[in-house]
Each structure stands twice: as C-alpha cells, then as structure tokens.
Amino acid sequence: MTALLEIRDLKAEVAGRQILNGLSLTVNKGEIHAIMGPNGAGKSTLSYVLAGKPGYEITGGEVLLNGEDLFAMAADERAAKGLFLAFQYPLEIPGVATLTFLRAALNAQRRKRGEEELSSPDLMKRVRELSKKLGIDPDMLRRPLNVGFSGGEKKRNETLQMALLEPLLCVLDETDSGLDIDALKVVANGVNQLRAPERGMIVITHYQRLLDYIVPDVVHVLAAGRIVETGGKDLALQLEATGYAQYQGEAA
Amino acid sequence: MNAPVAALKTEAEQGLATAFAAAAPGLPGGAAVAAARAAAFDAFAQAGLPHRRLEAWKYTDLRRLMRDAKPLAPPPEAAAKAEAATAGAVIAGLGFRRLVVVDGVFAPDLSDLADLEPGLAIASLADQLAADAPLLPAAFADVLPAAEPAVTLNGALVRGGVVLTVAPGAVVARPLHLAFITTGTAPVAVYSRSLLTLGAGAKLSLIETHEGPEGVDYQVSAVLGLDVGDGASLDHVKITREGSAALHVASLIASVGAAATLTTCGFTLGGAVVRNQAFVRLKGAGTNATLSGVSLLAGRQHADATLMLTHAAPGSTSREVFKAVVDGAARAAFQGKIAVEQAAQQTDARMMARALLLSEEAEAYSKPELEIFADDVQCGHGATTGTLDDQLKFYLMARGIPAKEAEALLIQAFVGEVIDGIAQEGLREALTAATVAWLEARDA
Ligand SMILES: Nc1ncnc2c1ncn2[C@@H]1O[C@H](COP(=O)(O)OP(=O)(O)O)[C@@H](O)[C@H]1O
Ligand SMILES: [Mg+2]
C-alpha cells in the first residue's frame, strides 16, 4: 500500500542556511503522528516546505504525497491533492471576507478535482454547522479573514477551514499555542472528528499537553532538522519530564 | 482674433490653432462668448500645451503625449445618436436618470427627462452659451489656478454639455447619470463642459461615465463644475472607460459651501492617456469632503490623478484615498496638494496614495503635498508603492486557490477599500464587477 506521505532524506535551506538536514518520515492513512522538538528545531520549516511556501530551497531528498512528487506541484495543487497546513501564525487578509475566502478555497479545490462547485446556500449551511461545532460566532464569517481575530479565534478559523476542506493529510503547526484550555478542547475536538481511516495527520507541538486531547499513534522528536527519535505516545510523556536538553547536542 | 501662433511649436499645438480657427465660427455662443473663446485661445496659445517643466503637469507631459490635434467632432447626426443609445451601459439597470452627451453635445432626445423631481432643472450648455451665459460661472473663479491650461483650452473649444440646477432644499432621490460618449471610427476631438449648481441644503447623486470607440485615438476634454451650496450634499462618481487609444483630460472644479458634504470618487479603467485633475475649494466652515480614486491600468496606459484641495474656512474635514493597480508597462501618477489657508483653523485633512505594481515594468509616481498657513490643524499624508504580498498569496494558495485567483482576490481587496466608500449599493456592485472583468482580462 502506498504511504499517504513519504519524506525521504529531506534537506532544505532558507536564506542560505540549511535547516532540514536529511529528514525522513512516513505517514500512512489513518495514522496520527506527533512531531515534538525544541524551538528552532525546524518544525515550522518542515510544514512550510510541505505546503510550498516560497523562499525555501530544497537541496536534497524527496517527498511523495500518495505516491506523487510533492515538489512538482504548486501550493494550490498540493492543497487540491489533499494537503492542509494549519498555520502556526495564520495571516490576516484585509478586504477579503472570511466567507468569500472559504468559498473560493473550497470551489477552487473542487474544480481542480473535476468536482462540481458547491452552491452558495449549501456552502453557507455547511459553514454554519461547522462554525457552531467550533464555537465560531457566525458574524466572524463576514469579517475580513483573521483581521482583528484573537489568537484563539484564528486557530478556530484554521480548524474550520480544515474541517470544510476535508483534506487527506493535515499538518497542524502548534495549533495549541495561544489557546487557553477551553479553546484547546474545542479545537482538539474539531480535529478528532476528522480522524478517519483514509486520513493522516501530523501534529506539531512543543508541549505534551495537546497530545492529551489529540492522541497520536506515533511520536517523533525533531532536533536540528532531523528526526532523532521515534516512539509511541509514552515518548511524549517522557519528554515532558526530561525536556529536550538531551537532543540539543544533536545539532550538526 | 490674432493668435500668437509663433508660441505654438508642436504639431499638436499648431493643429489646435487650425482646429480653433476652423471650428470657432460654428461653436455655440453669442458675441460675448465668442470673444471669451478667442481670449481663452489666446491665453492657451501664450503658454502652449502643458509640459513636464510645469509642476502641475510633471508626470503628464501633454506636449509629448499629445502628438497631434484631432479635428473637432461635428455635432452628432443620426448615426452618432444611434451609436449613443447604449451609452453608460456599465451602470445600466440601476434606475438612474440618464442624460446623454454625444460627441460633446447634450442629446435631450436620448435622455430621460420625464417626471423631473421638483427643484431639478436640466438645460443644455450650448443653449446657454448661445444666450451668452459665461463660459465659467463666477463661483468657480477663485477655485482654478490662473490660466489653467486644460480648462482654458476647453473654454475656447467647448461644444456643449449639461447644465444642472437643483433648487435650495430639494432632495433629488434618483441619481443622475451623465453618460458621455464619443462615437464613430474617425479620430476626433471632443470638448464638453457640464455645470451643476446645488442649492443650499439640496441633495444629489451624480454619476458620470465616459466611453468611446475601441482602438481609435480620439481626444476628450471634459470639464465639470460643481457649485455645492451651504448644507448641500453631493455624491459624485466618475467612471472613465475610454477606448484603449484615447486621450482623456478631465477637470473637476468644485466650490463647496459651509456645512456641506462632498464625496467624489474617480474610477479609471480605460484610455491610453488619462488625466483626471480636480480643483476643490472648501469655502465654507464645517464641511466634509471625501475624495478618492482608483485606476486599473495595463498595457502602456498612463493615468494621472491630480488633486488641488484648498481648505479656505475653519473646521472642515477632508479625506483623500487614491489607489492605483498597475500592470504591464503602464504608469500611474498621483499628485495631491492640500492647501490650508490661514483662516482654515481646525482643519482635519488626511491624504493617502497607494499603488500596487503587478509587473516589473509597471511604474507609479506619487507626490502628496501639504501647504499649511493655519496653526491649529491636523493634517497628514502618506504614500506607498508595493507589490502583492507573497505571504498573503501563499496563504490563499495553501488553501487551494490558484495563483491568479489569489492575486485577483488580493487586488479586489486593495481596490475594495475605495469601492466600499461609495454610497449606492448598485454602483458598488457595478464597479466590483468592472474590477473582476479587468482582472479576468488580465489573465486572458
Ligand atoms: N526566513 C528565515 N530566514 C532565516 N532563518 C530562518 C527563517 N525561518 C526560520 N529560520 C530559522 O530556521 C530555524 C528553524 O525554525 P523553525 O522551523 O521556525 O523552528 P521551530 O518551528 O521548530 O521552532 C530557526 O533557527 C530559525 O531561526
Ligand atoms: Mg514553529
């Protein structure tokens, strides 16, 4: 069976500095992988490289999404093929209403997959249902995307986008940062509802706390741009106790 | 008439002298108007076409951009009128009262003159000039700089236009749509002038559209005088969609009374060379003025928005926002000067110019200026020129939105800030649709 995501010996640079140093990782359908690691280890870099953010140079290795070369696709094609990155810092887009954005995103993906566009009433209905589940004020949908949203509102909004777009591979970059415990539970609940046999997830976090709510199948430690240890969910608890100091020496 | 032709050096300047000599006898006006026209042409001829060494024309060197002078369009015949039947289609269906100006001449037969609201009067400038009404009413005398070249030349050659009067206190519910159209396939020159007197406390929405044949290098000179009385409220939008080879020079002259509200927005999409200049004088205290503009430019288009706003009385507020989206090898220029006279204490004025460059070759110039002679004022200005934000574009693309569509969303958002300031919803929708069409043409 083809893996959902296969990262082989990935090396990447930003601003002339090598950040990913031969990272390998395989995520199969139905699995939830957690990636933990110290600040500056390259976790966000990995997520951006996967999503196709400009400014990152791939200097080695390859990534296959459902067996297809990820780097041969533009960012929008990756999304249409089922990749979703929940940003650590979602961007504010003045002048673009949240609902307009959601409609544009969903329909662009559907068009690219040769599916019919969702009608406005159907979209509204779907968005309203999801908003309710995620505790999002429907008024927010008319406001410009993320503009003036609190940190928690932005993360809920990312989760709403993810739930609406129904990706095959979700990459959540520090979705827990900036959330109080109640918001964390709501967001985690939203994520858990997306657990499905055909879907995989990479949950990036600095703290173990999130993994109490989104329970992973596999936990990896990323340090100095590489996966340095892999274990079960107990590894997260162990890290909570010991911290990342033992891995700092791994730096190249 | 004894024009000092020696001062006129370029082919266009000489052509204008020829055109004036040929057309003058047939232009509307009694003896006084004929004399005023001759004096105007003499004054124009002294200085010639404005050029880049004149500060006000720094970015739009007409001496260079206007290669020749086209013959004056003849008064419209049946064919021209038939072509004008669809004038202003860009905002058709909004229920506005359409008044059509064909090749510079007001065409009552094409205009909607039924059931005029009480207090609203509509007349033809040509008729008024024939009765020797002044070329420019006295209210505007102190609004224009001395011998302003575009308005001066327009005075010499103007063929007609619409004269609107709204009685004091009258509220004209139905917006007026002045639909200017240049017809035919031969390159002609069209000089029109329209005037509005809005009585004290009166209220009006006025929308202008300008259009003409595609690919024909016709020339348009349009003057609009707005005399806004005390406590009156005027909402004005000008949509410039001239053909791709046209030269369009428009002058807005506004005299604004006390406690009045003036909102004006210019939306420029078409034309090879477009100059929109506005001279606005806030004469009365406690007035509110909002002046804005959007230019969407591609190919080798050149558009210049030049604003001279004078706060002449205390306690007025003005807001200026001018935006340009520049693609291809197009060029956008903004010049804005806010002058605050000594009497104009407690002025609150803020001006912002933003340009968005979509290609390597696109250019934008901006020159905002303040000239302040009062000491108790709040004034500010700013200007930015930049490209589309890559990070925002990536965020949209990461959700599956293709690059071009992501750009279109961001450009619409950029322009939306100005469009959102327009009062009528239908007009906002029409301008949004025009923006979308422009963006789609860009992708094609
Ligand atoms: N645009 C950039 N330019 C230069 N260095 C960068 C850039 N982005 C990230 N880095 C560096 O790359 C390293 C990894 O950053 P990041 O992937 O954000 O780490 P993490 O998400 O694990 O905290 C850090 O040392 C950071 O300073
Ligand atoms: Mg990070």
ipTM of this complex = 0.96
Domains (ranges, CATH) in chain A? Answer: 5-251 (3.40.50.300)
Q: Is B102 left (phi over 0), alpha (psi -120 to 50) or beta?
A: beta
**Cα B352 to chain center, whole Å?**
19
Q: Is B206 helix (H, G, I), strand (E, B) or coil?
A: strand
CA B122 – CA B101 distance, rounded (Å): 13
Say if B39 is an interface residue toward chain A (CB within 8 Å). no
What is the per-residue pLDDT for A249?
A: 62
Nearest to A76 among B400, B409, B416 (CB): B400
pTM of the complete model beyond 0.90: yes
Using the predicted structure, report yes or no on whether residue A170 has a pLDDT greater than 60. Answer: yes
Q: Does residue B353 contact residue B366 with C-beta atoms inside 8 Å?
A: yes
Cβ neighbour number for residue A209 with a 10 Å cutoff: 15
Say if B31 is an interface residue toward chain A (CB within 8 Å). no
CA distance A144 to chain B (A): 9
**Which residues have C-beta atoms less than 6 Å from ligand 1?**
A 14-15, 17, 19, 37, 39-45
CA A186 – CA A126 distance, rounded (Å): 18
Of A233, A234, A202, A224, residue with least CA distance to A37 = A224
What are the tokens at B192?
């029109």
Residues 6+ apart with CB under 8 A from B199: B119, B165, B166, B167, B168, B169, B170, B229, B232
Q: Is A133 helix (H, G, I), strand (E, B) or coil?
A: helix
CA B271 – CA B217 distance, rounded (Å): 9
CA B182 – CA B104 distance, rounded (Å): 8
CA B245 – CA B49 distance, rounded (Å): 20
* Strand blocks (E) in A80-150: 83-86
What is the per-residue pLDDT for B442?
A: 83
- Cβ contacts of B399 on chain A, cutoff 8 Å: 76, 79, 101, 105, 108-109, 161, 165
Q: Which residues pair with A172 in a beta bridge?
A: A86, A203
Q: Name the phi and psi angles at B182, rounded to 5.
A: -105, 135
Of A164, A154, A158, A218, residue with least CA distance to A194 = A164
- Among positive and negative, which fits the CA dihedral B22, B74, B279, B144? positive
Probe residue for ligand 1, chosen from A11, A23, A36, A44 as the CB with the greatest number of ligand atoms within 8 Å? A44
Chain B interface disruption, residue of A96, A113, A169, most B CBs within 10 A: A96
Say if B410 is an interface residue toward chain A (CB within 8 Å). yes
- The Cα diameter of chain B in Å comes to 70
Q: Name the phi and psi angles at B389, rounded to 5.
A: -75, 115
Q: Which residues pair with B311 in a beta bridge?
A: B282, B340
Ligand 1, atom 3: closest residue by C-alpha: A15
**Buried b / exposed e along A78-87 (16+ C-beta atoms within 10 A):** bbbbbbbbbb
- The DSSP code for B115 is T
Say if B409 is an interface residue toward chain A (CB within 8 Å). yes
Q: Does residue B178 contact residue B209 with C-beta atoms inside 8 Å?
A: yes
If pLDDT is split at 50, 70 and 90, which confidence band does A242 have?
confident
Q: Residue B313: in which H helix or E strand, if any?
A: none
Of B147, B153, B110, B156, residue with least CA distance to B1 = B156
Residue of A nearest to B411 (CA): A95
Say if B414 is an interface residue toward chain A (CB within 8 Å). yes
Of B177, B179, B241, residue with least CA distance to B214 = B241
Q: Does residue B378 contact residue B259 with C-beta atoms inside 8 Å?
A: no
For the beta sheet containing B189-198, the strands, ordered from the edge strand earlier in sequence to the opposite edge, are B120-124, B162-166, B189-198, B219-228, B247-256, B273-282, B302-311, B331-340, B363-372
CA B239 – CA B63 distance, rounded (Å): 25
**Average pLDDT along chain A:** 93
What is the per-residue pLDDT for A50?
A: 98
What is the per-residue pLDDT for A246?
A: 83
What are the tokens at B365?
């110039």
Q: Does residue B253 contact residue B224 with C-beta atoms inside 8 Å?
A: yes
Q: Does residue B348 contact residue B318 with C-beta atoms inside 8 Å?
A: yes
* CA angle, B270 then B396 then B412, to 5°: 25
CA B339 – CA A230 distance, rounded (Å): 69
What are the tokens at A233?
């969910």
Q: Which ligand is nearest to the CA of A224?
A: 1
Reading chain B (444 residues) residue by residue, the pLDDT tens digits are 444 445 668 999 999 999 999 999 999 999 999 999 999 999 999 999 999 999 999 999 999 999 999 999 999 999 999 999 999 999 999 999 999 999 999 999 999 999 999 999 999 999 999 999 999 999 999 999 999 999 999 999 999 999 999 999 999 999 999 999 999 999 999 999 999 999 999 999 999 999 999 999 999 999 999 999 999 999 999 999 999 999 999 999 999 999 999 999 999 999 999 999 999 999 999 999 999 999 999 999 999 999 999 999 999 999 999 999 999 999 999 999 999 999 999 999 999 999 999 999 999 999 999 999 999 999 999 999 999 999 999 999 999 999 999 999 999 999 999 999 999 999 999 999 999 999 998 877
Residue of A nearest to B420 (CA): A95
**C-alpha A2 to ligand 2 mean position (Å):** 29
Atom of ligand 1 nearest to the CA of A225: 14
Nearest to B413 among A76, A85, A95 (CB): A95
Q: Which residues pair with B265 in a beta bridge?
A: B237, B292
Of B251, B264, B157, B167, residue with least CA distance to B206 = B264
Q: Is A248 left (phi over 0), alpha (psi -120 to 50) or beta?
A: alpha
Q: CB contacts < 8 Å between A and B, how many? A: 80
What is the per-residue pLDDT for A245?
A: 84
**C-alpha A139 to ligand 1 mean position (Å):** 35
Residue of A nearest to B410 (CA): A96
